[in-house]
């Protein structure tokens, strides 16, 4: 079993991060947050989850152990596979996802690609008492986090932004502006 990999980020492909470990390139599926944050040429240590099936051997990489543990907890839920669990972790920080589960926030969980209402409810029912909050600070971060009802935020997510990136782009834009104007300003700020 592969538990961790330490090496240089050699390439970033459509879905994969290629880490060169002493001449051997390992392809890892990672969260959107890690994919955007990690830079080619950086030396990294990632925690690895191996998913072995009859016709494939996939490696999922996480920059911290807490993310990997939450990923494994999500996999315990009936109907949640590795790609869906990775999508759920891509909606926000690990603490935000934990907080959403603990608070019973199905809308936050449904923001993940491929996650419908039933799966979101099942995740919350099965994990609500297991995930817990890391600290009171996490609860504050979550309560002040992105408003999933915000139409501008939803539009940016539909355009392919991670929820955290969309929220960051909209953070300093006047909420009194029209949704269209807020989206335009957010897009201008991102392109700078």
Q: What residue spans in the chain does CATH classification 1.10.150.20 cover?
A: 65-142
Which of 52-56, 61-65, 142-146 has the weakest average pLDDT? 142-146
Q: What is the pLDDT of residue 69?
A: 92
Whether the pLDDT of residue 66 is over 70: the answer is yes
The H or E element that residue 64 is part of is none
Q: What is the mean pLDDT of residues 128-137?
A: 59
pLDDT tens-digit map of 99-131: 888 888 889 999 988 889 999 999 988 988 887
The CATH number corresponding to 65-142 among 3.40.50.2000, 3.40.830.10, 2.40.110.10, 1.10.150.20 equals 1.10.150.20
Which tokens go with 152? 């501008």
Record the pTM. Answer: 0.66
DSSP tag of 173? S
Q: What residue spans in the chain does CATH classification 1.10.8 cover?
A: 146-191
Whether the pLDDT of residue 148 is over 70: the answer is no
Q: What is the pLDDT of residue 44?
A: 93
Among 8, 51, 11, which Cα is nearest to 35's?
11
Whether the pLDDT of residue 136 is over 50: the answer is no
Whole-number Å distance between alpha carbons of 57 and 109: 27
Higher pLDDT, 166 or 121: 121
Q: Enumerate residues 6+ apart whose C-beta is below 8 A from 23.
A: none
Which of 18-22, 84-88, 175-179 has the weakest average pLDDT? 175-179
Locate the DSSP E strands across 22-136. 24-29, 43-53, 56-62
Tokens 């090496």 belong to residue: 7
Per CATH, the number for 4-62 is 2.40.50.140
Q: What is the pLDDT of residue 169?
A: 83
Domain 146-191 is of which CATH architecture? Answer: Orthogonal Bundle (1.10)
Which of 57-61, 87-91, 157-161 has the weakest average pLDDT? 157-161
Q: What is the mean pLDDT of residues 3-18?
A: 91
Contact 98, 132 (CB under 8 A): yes
- Going 9 to 13 to 14 to 15, the CA torsion angle's sign is negative
Q: Enumerate residues 6+ apart whose C-beta is below 8 A from 51.
A: 57, 58, 59, 60, 82
Whole-number Å distance between alpha carbons of 29 and 32: 9
Letter string b/e over residues 84-111, b meaning 16 or more CB atoms within 10 A of that residue's CB: bbbbbbbbbbbbbbbbbbbeebbebbbb
DSSP tag of 79? T
Q: What residue spans in the chain does CATH classification 2.40.50.140 cover?
A: 4-62
Q: What is the pLDDT of residue 135?
A: 38
């Amino acid at each position: 079993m592969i538990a961790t990999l330490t090496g240089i980020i050699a390439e970033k492909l459509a879905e994969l991060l290629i880490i060169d470990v002493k001449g051997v390139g390992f392809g890892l599926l990672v969260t959107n947050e890690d994919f955007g944050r990690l830079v080619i040429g950086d030396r990294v240590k990632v925690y690895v989850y191996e998913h072995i099936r009859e016709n494939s051997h996939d490696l999922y990489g996480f920059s911290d152990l807490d993310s990997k543990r939450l990923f494994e907890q999500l996999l315990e839920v009936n109907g949640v596979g590795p790609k869906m669990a990775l999508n759920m972790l891509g909606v926000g920080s690990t603490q935000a996802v934990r907080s959403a589960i603990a608070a019973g926030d199905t809308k936050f969980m449904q923001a993940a690609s491929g996650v419908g209402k039933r799966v979101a409810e099942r995740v919350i029912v099965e994990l609500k008492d297991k995930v817990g909050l890391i600290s009171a600070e996490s609860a504050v971060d979550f309560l002040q986090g992105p408003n999933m009802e915000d139409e501008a935020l939803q539009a940016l997510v539909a355009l392919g932004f991670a929820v955290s990136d969309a929220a960051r782009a909209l953070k300093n834009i006047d909420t009194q502006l029209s949704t269209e104007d807020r989206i335009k300003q957010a897009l201008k700020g991102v392109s700078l």
